[in-house]
Each structure stands twice: as structure tokens, then as C-alpha cells.
């Protein structure tokens, strides 16, 4: 069956509609846990996530139920890295504030200090998480603006060190020395609220923060305070907690903050590629073949 509505199913609707399914093609908004797997039945063989992330799926429950899990990495690397660059530049150059002045009829006479931003040329960029997307982003920033590169990673990335002049450092050093910081880590217990009030205190007052990873990596209350008190210069977010972010949230409309509705992979090329992999994964799982992209269950 196909869920026909524009909005995702509620947990109750999900439980009702998975009964008898051999495979599930899911979105990040669909929480797939033991209850869902039990409701589907013993014949459930595969959950194919239409995303590179899979924190919506209980991997322990999948292992216990003998259910394989697929995701869609690689095809969205470039588009997500591009959006991170877009957010960085837009936040640094105060594009949202300038556009609002035009829309609201506040575009006045030219002033030397009006809407002054910061520029990346020759500055230091810090990449939190040097995976596929982190590397693609770093490549764009270093080669495009001759930036010094710092990064965090569980292991030394020799290719990044050699080709981009990168240097692996601890998070505290990255926060203290970077003019621009971009987040590219997966959401885990270790990375939840990784950037909290203490982290913002370490950042430069001219720092621009970008997050295209997961909203929960940043303590949003701490971010509101950091922007409001000018601890940091600006932030560009493609991910928030929750999603959608309510219009009444303090981040919405806060000067210095740009928020997009989780569109990191929203290009025709990326979304079509994701669809192909997701369908390949679910068919392979049902037919007992190797998944094109399979998530290890440990």
C-alpha cells in the first residue's frame, strides 16, 4: 500500500497500515520501532529509509526481528554540501535581513556601515565531522576561498590533510579558532546537544555557524542566547528541533539566523537518485538479495 496523504502518518496510522507488509519504504518522519515491526508481522524483511540518516529506525529492534535496514548515502553528498555553503554565505552576508528590508519597504539611503557582514576569504573554517558531506563542504570552502581547515573526526583523515591542508583537532580548539563552523556529524548519544552553552562561549564573536546535519546536535535555547547576546555573529540552519519548527519559536525571525525547511538534498538529481536506491533496497530485501546500501545492525 501507499500512504496517500501529504502529511506523514501518525504513529497510530502507521501501526494500522503496516500490517502484512514485507517491506517498508520510510521517511525520517516515520518512527520505526519494535511496535511497528510487531504490527507488520513476522514476514517483514526490510525497512528502506529514503534518507542517508536512520535515527528514526530502532536498529536494535530491527536486529531482534531479523529485519534489514537500507539507506541512501552518496547521492546527496554534493547537494547537501552546496546548501551548507549557501547557508554560510547567506548568514555571513546577512542576506535574510537585507531581503526583509526590501520586502518591507525599509530600503533607505546607502550607508557605509549598513548590513555589514563577514567574508570567508583566507579565514579559518571548522568542520565538525569529516564524513562524505563534511569532506565535500571542506573542499568547496578551501578551494573556493583559500581557507585554513580544521576538523574533528574519530580518526585522522590523511586525504584531507594532504589535499586540503586540513588539521584534525579537538572540538574545543576548533570552536575557539574557527571563523566559520559547519556541522556534519550523525546524531548519536555523544553528539546530542554537542554544541551547547559552553560550546558557544568558546566561539569567536564573528563566528558563523551552519548546521545541515541534525537539529538535535545543537542546543537551540543556547543558540538563541548566543545570537541574542552577540556571542556569535550568525547561524544558518537547515535542520531544527522539532521539524517543522513552530513559527512562534524564538529562533524564527531572530536577526542573524536563517532557517530552511530541511532541503539539503532537495535537487532533482539527488532526490531521484535517493528514490532509485530506496526502491532497489526494498526490492532486494524482499527478494533476499544484498541491499545496495545496507545499514550495519551490529
Only one residue has cell 521517511, namely 27
**Residue 77: alpha-carbon gap to chain centroid:** 11
DSSP string, 93-151: TTHHHHHHHHHTT---S--TTTT-----TT-EEEEE--SHHHHHHHHHHHHHH--EEEE
CA-CA distance, 28 to 86, in Å (whole number)? 23
* Residue 262 annotated to the active site: yes
Look at residues 227, 148, 139 and name the one whose alpha carbon lies nearest to residue 184: 139
Look at residues 239, 238, 118 and name the one whose alpha carbon lies nearest to residue 180: 118
Only one residue has cell 546530542, namely 192
CA-CA distance, 191 to 138, in Å (whole number)? 20
Look at residues 219, 195, 216 and name the one whose alpha carbon lies nearest to residue 207: 195
**In 167-279, beta strands by DSSP E:** 167-168, 180-183, 208-211, 234-237, 257-259
Considering the candidates 65, 184, 249, 262, report the single residue annotated as catalytic.
Answer: 262
Q: Which residues are catalytic?
A: 262
Amino acid at each position: 500500500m501507499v500512504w496517500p496523504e501529504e502529511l506523514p502518518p501518525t504513529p497510530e496510522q502507521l501501526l494500522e497500515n503496516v500490517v502484512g507488509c514485507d517491506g517498508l519504504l520510510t521517511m525520517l518522519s516515520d518512527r520505526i520501532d519494535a511496535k511497528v515491526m510487531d504490527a507488520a508481522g513476522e514476514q517483514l524483511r526490510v525497512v528502506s529509509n529514503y534518507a542517508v540518516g536512520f535515527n528514526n529506525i530502532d536498529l536494535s529492534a530491527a536486529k531482534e526481528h531479523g529485519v534489514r535496514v537500507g539507506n541512501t548515502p552518496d547521492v546527496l553528498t554534493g547537494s547537501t554540501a552546496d546548501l551548507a555553503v549557501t547557508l554560510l554565505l547567506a548568514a555571513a552576508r546577512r542576506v535574510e535581513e537585507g531581503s526583509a528590508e526590501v520586502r518591507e519597504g525599509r530600503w533607505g539611503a546607502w550607508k557605509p556601515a549598513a548590513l555589514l557582514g563577514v567574508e570567508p576569504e583566507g579565514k579559518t573554517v571548522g568542520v565538525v565531522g569529516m564524513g562524505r558531506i563534511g569532506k565535500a563542504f571542506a573542499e568547496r570552502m578551501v578551494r573556493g576561498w583559500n581557507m585554513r581547515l580544521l576538523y574533528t573526526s574519530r580518526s585522522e583523515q590523511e586525504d584531507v590533510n594532504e589535499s586540503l591542508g586540513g588539521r584534525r583537532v579537538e572540538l574545543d580548539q576548533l570552536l575557539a579558532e574557527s571563523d566559520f563552523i559547519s556541522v556534519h556529524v550523525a546524531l548519536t548519544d555523544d553528539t546530542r546537544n554537542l554544541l551547547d552553552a559552553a560550546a558557544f562561549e568558546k566561539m569567536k564573536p564573528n563566528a558563523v555557524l551552519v548546521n545541515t546535519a541534525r537539529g538535535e546536535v545543537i542546543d537551540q535555547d543556547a543558540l538563541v542566547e548566543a545570537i541574542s547576546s552577540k556571542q556569535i555573529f550568525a547561524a544558518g540552519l537547515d535542520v531544527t528541533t522539532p521539524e517543522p519548527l513552530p513559527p512562534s519559536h524564538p529562533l524564527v525571525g531572530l536577526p542573524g539566523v536563517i532557517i530552511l525547511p530541511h532541503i539539503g538534498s532537495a535537487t532533482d538529481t539527488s532526490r531521484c537518485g535517493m528514490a532509485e536506491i530506496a526502491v532497489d533496497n526494498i526490492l532486494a530485501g524482499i527478494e533476499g538479495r544484498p541491499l545496495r546500501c545496507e545499514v550495519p545492525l551490529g
